Structure 1
Amino acid sequence: MRLVAMRRICENLGMSWARQSVKLEQQKEKFNRCDIETVAEDGKPREMVAIPTRKLALWLACMSGRMERAGGAWG
């Protein structure tokens, strides 16, 4: 199964990662959210939130289409 790391996508879209990570946790089954382990630049293992690439379009379609003012980031 191919996975996509969600933090990078949120950051590149200008969305609030803190808020989106909570939403992904609340809807874990809907998006088949999982944690993957990766190695950071400092050589330490880190956990990353990921979803299958086939669920990415569903996640994008669930966006409200409006910016919620939380520091100018998507809610």
Structure 2
Amino acid sequence: MKLFHNILPPDEWKLPVIVLTGCIAGLIFFLFYISKAHSYLSDNPETCVNCHIMAPQYATWNHSSHRETANCNDCH
């Protein structure tokens, strides 16, 4: 218990540490959302078009017979 007590910040630092931690967590979640990083956690083939120059390849795949049987994650 003494080790845990030594890790905690002094009382006058508690509020600034909580606010700073909240700001950092909020910034991380905001950047995660704004960069569409959540789309990379799915199997949606439209994800490839987010940042890569994949529009022609995506259009070709989307109009081919492979669209019904395979998505990008099956091969890549």
Structure 2-normalised TM-score? Answer: 0.28
| More strand by percentage | 1
> Which structure carries more relative contact order (alpha carbon 8 Å, separation 6+)?
1
Structure 1-normalised TM-score? Answer: 0.28
Q: Which has the larger radius of gyration?
A: 2
